[in-house]
Amino acid sequence: MKISICIPVYNFEVGELVNDLKNEISEKNLNAEILLIDDASDEKFIDINRGLQQEADHFIFLEKNIGRSRIRNLFLDYSGGDYLLFLDCDGKIIEKNFLENYISFIVNNSTTQVIYGGRKVSESFPDQDHYLRWKFAIERENLPVNKRLENPYLSFQTNNFIIKKETLQKVRFNSEFQKYGYEDLLFAMDLRAENIKIDHIENPIFNNDVENNQLYLEKVKESVESLSNMLKNKQLSGRLSEVKLVKAYKVLKNQPLRLFFKLFFTAGKRVLKNHLLKGTGSLRYLDLYKLGLLLERMP
């Protein structure tokens, strides 16, 4: 069994991540390869990472950015492994037997097709400028395996997962949506539609790049835009019905309350955003902000 470690690279230095992976491969004589595809990063990061061409089995530099979904599908063209392990470029290895943990699970669970290992961020409080993204990660994303197993598809993320190659050939990432946001959830729901189970184990990657509040809110806006485009596609909208934000939208969709909420959001949008930028308060304010953005974009 061979593992292809697939790392999409964009504006981040990946030397430490690659070296940590290579060390485990070498020390334990694992049958694994490292594939890097740079999605048209700034020249600064291309120069920083270029030396890794000697360390990786393949390092491809794209001239134009193709987005988070297409680049993951592209790894199929270069992968020689039976399984593809996808890692975000801002991840940090914190498990001593990281690769071996995945391999052991596959060996002991011969029918497994998709496995998600989880993620972590620092448990220490960050400064206020980075608090919002950190708080969302702590309370909503970085769940222990027992919590993830309660909703194995909704708790799936693409930052650290392994998939059988023939499974990805069958169910690819939807390349219609190139921008950030909900592409991992849509992929999970596409897997569920094909009755493909997602297994979960405790084998996390450390998130090494928590965005500041301003950048995170920009990404939130982009993600809501992606979600609205998915919901406008009748073939896909039903697959997203369990998403918390979609449920809230459907409650308001055809009711007079929707008009009231839109008026409220229009009047208070700036105040709500400024409150979020301060990095204080409950994530319910973030939920309201997302709902308002979605209502603005939906017919």
Alpha carbons 188 and 239: distance in angstroms, whole number? 9
Range of the domain at 200: 3-206
User: Do 157 and 57 fall within a single domain?
Assistant: yes
The whole-number pLDDT of residue 152 equals 97
User: Do 251 and 181 fall within a single domain?
Assistant: no
User: Do 50 and 150 fall within a single domain?
Assistant: yes
User: Do 108 and 34 fall within a single domain?
Assistant: yes
Give the residue-averaged pLDDT of 71-97.
97
Among residues 175, 206, 237, the one where a domain terminates is 206
Residue 212 per-residue DSSP state: P
Tens of pLDDT, residues 144-173: 999 999 999 999 999 999 999 999 999 999
The whole-number pLDDT of residue 181 equals 84
The whole-number pLDDT of residue 255 equals 80
Count of Cβ atoms closer than 10 Å to residue 282 Cβ: 10
Give 282's pLDDT tier (boundaries 50, 70, 90).
Answer: confident
User: Could you tell me if 95 and 204 are in contact, meaning their C-beta atoms sit under 8 angstroms apart?
Assistant: yes
Alpha carbons 193 and 245: distance in angstroms, whole number? 21
CATH label of the domain that carries residue 183: 3.90.550.10
Query: In this structure, are strands 83-87 and 3-9 parallel, antiparallel, or unpaired?
Result: parallel
User: Do 253 and 114 fall within a single domain?
Assistant: no
For residue 14, give Cα distances in angstroms to 7, 45, 184: 9, 9, 22
User: Do 241 and 266 fall within a single domain?
Assistant: yes
User: Do 123 and 188 fall within a single domain?
Assistant: yes
Alpha carbons 65 and 68: distance in angstroms, whole number? 9
Classify residue 62 by burial, with Cβ atoms within 10 Å: 0-12, 13-18, 19+.
middle
User: Could you tell me if 12 and 88 are in contact, meaning their C-beta atoms sit under 8 angstroms apart?
Assistant: no
Alpha carbons 294 and 181: distance in angstroms, whole number? 13
Domain count, the chain: 2
| Residue 178 scores a pLDDT above 90 | no
- Burial code (b: 16+ CB inside 10 Å, e: under 16) for 95-115 equals beebbebbbebbeeeeebbbb
User: Do 19 and 62 fall within a single domain?
Assistant: yes
Residue 226 one-letter amino acid: S
Tens of pLDDT, residues 222-267: 999 999 999 998 888 889 999 999 999 999 887 888 888 988 899 9
User: Do 187 and 168 fall within a single domain?
Assistant: yes
Q: What percent of the chain has pLDDT over 70?
A: 100
Tens of pLDDT, residues 7-62: 999 999 999 999 999 999 999 999 999 999 999 999 999 999 999 999 999 999 99
Q: Which residues pair with 69 in a beta bridge?
A: none
Reported in sequence order, the residue ranges of 64-158 that DSSP labels E, i.e. its strands, are 83-87, 91-93, 114-116, 119-120
